[in-house]
Amino acid sequence: MVGRSSLVKTLDEFILPFVLLVAARYLGFFIAIFIAPIQFEFSLKSDLMSAPFVHFIKIDDLFLANSVSWLFTAAILGIVFGFVAFRSLHLNEDWLHPKETAAFHKKNISHLLVSGEEATHQVIAWSLATLLALNLSVVDLWLGNLSTLMFGIVVSVSALLTVLYILSLTREVGSR
pLDDT in tens, 60-111: 899 999 999 999 999 999 999 989 988 888 888 888 888 888 888 899 988 8
Give phi and psi for 56, each to the nearest 5: -90, 135
| C-alpha span between 153 and 74 (Å, rounded) | 7
The domain spans of the chain are 2-174
53 contacts: CB under 8 Å, gap ≥ 6: 42, 43, 44, 46
Closest among 137, 126, 145, 136 to 14, alpha carbons compared: 126
pTM of the full predicted structure?
A: 0.85
| C-alpha span between 165 and 163 (Å, rounded) | 5
Side-chain half-sphere CA neighbours of 94 within 13 A:
16
